């Protein structure tokens, strides 16, 4: 992602900083996303200096929907300018395909169970159909619920990350340490956050000019992450710091699960009705 700040003449501003705040999409009225607790929460909050009027970073959007990106430019003379952008992220098409296939499977299971129930034969077959329906219901429920190393040198990096909580931003702080006035030294900082289980980079800033320290609020959604900070210090020295953090999974709220479970049960009930109707139609034709 790139933000460009220009002056009245249309040219990029020479100096200044920009505060960036990213908020997640609001909850959907029916189908929830993969992370219901993330919906409507603050995902990212940081202030970075501009380079040739630009601020650049990489970010992996966790859920679908319309995001709200608020930015505030602060000029060296104290002037400030605010602007808000809307970013729409679409759902992965493969997920919609799997949802359609799963819905068809539930509908077919309902038809089969409806035909078996309508036969009115042995109790054993009735019990078998009941067990199959119960198994399908369990599958529906399970699908709905699923969902610092220090350099041994004169100067080293210090990285502190608060305990991550789903639905809340986590404070992340980095700074130089190890000698007097280390925090006042100008460095180029590269900070990356990688999801270890998915093996995907979820956030990155490269060669960001900072004055010995950097901080931001970042929301970790799930799983285990590796945070790496590499500082390029004047004189050719490179200081690298790493730390892993884990996010404990939280059960989604009931209001996020009930609509989806109700939809799947309605599909099964519709299949039962079709199965019973087709079985009775066959019996009527024979008579």
Q: Which residues contact 40 (CB under 8 A, 6 or more apart)?
A: 23, 24, 25, 26, 27
CA 124, 125, 130, 131 dihedral sign is positive
What does the pLDDT read at residue 144? 36
pTM exceeds 0.85: no
Count of all residues that appear for the chain in the document: 287
Could you tell me the two tokens for 81? 């300018």
Could you tell me the two tokens for 19? 């505060």
Q: State the Cα–Cα distance between residues 26 and 42, nearest whole angstrom.
A: 11
- Quick one: fold of 2-91+148-247? Immunoglobulin-like (2.60.40)
Q: Which residues contact 64 (CB under 8 A, 6 or more apart)?
A: 25, 33, 89, 90, 91
Structural Rg of the chain based on CA atoms: 27
186 beta partners: 211
Q: What is the DSSP letter of 37?
A: G
The DSSP secondary structure of 149-176, one letter per residue, reads: ---SSSSEEEEEEPPPBTTB-EEEEEEE
Compute the mean pLDDT over every residue in the chain, rounded to the nearest whole number. Answer: 80
What is the per-residue pLDDT across 82-131, written as a single tens digit (0 to 9) for each? 999 999 988 777 777 777 888 888 878 878 877 777 754 444 444 544 44
As a whole number, mean pLDDT of residues 168-178 equals 88
What does the pLDDT read at residue 147? 31
CATH 2.60.40.1930 maps onto the chain at: 2-91+148-247
């Amino acid at each position: 992602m790139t933000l460009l700040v220009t002056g009245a003449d249309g040219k990029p501003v020479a100096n200044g900083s920009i505060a960036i705040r990213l908020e997640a999409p609001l909850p959907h009225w029916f189908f929830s996303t993969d992370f219901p607790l993330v919906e409507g929460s603050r995902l990212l909050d940081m202030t970075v200096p501009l380079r040739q009027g630009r601020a650049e970073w990489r970010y992996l959007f966790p859920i679908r929907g319309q995001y709200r990106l608020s930015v505030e430019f602060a000029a060296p003379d104290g002037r400030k300018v605010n602007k808000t952008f809307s970013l729409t992220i679409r759902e992965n098409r493969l997920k919609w395909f799997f949802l359609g296939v799963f819905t068809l499977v539930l509908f077919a299971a309902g038809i089969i169970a409806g035909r078996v129930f309508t036969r009115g034969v042995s109790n054993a077959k009735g019990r078998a159909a009941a067990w199959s329906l119960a198994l399908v219901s369990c599958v529906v429920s399970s699908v709905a619920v699923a969902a610092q190393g220090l350099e041994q040198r004169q100067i080293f990096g210090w990285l502190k990350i608060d305990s991550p909580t789903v639905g809340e931003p986590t404070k992340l702080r980095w700074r130089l340490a190890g000698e007097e006035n280390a925090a006042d030294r100008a460095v180029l900082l590269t900070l990356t956050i990688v999801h270890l289980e998915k093996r995907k980079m979820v956030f990155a800033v490269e060669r960001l000019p900072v004055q010995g320290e950097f901080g931001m609020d970042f929301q970790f959604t799930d799983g285990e992450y590796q945070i790496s900070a590499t500082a390029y210090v004047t004189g050719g020295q490179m200081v690298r710091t790493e730390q892993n953090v884990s996010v404990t999974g939280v059960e989604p709220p009931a209001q996020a699960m009930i609509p989806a479970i109700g939809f799947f049960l309605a599909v099964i009930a519709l299949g039962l009705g079709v199965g019973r109707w087709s079985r009775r139609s066959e019996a009527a034709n024979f008579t």
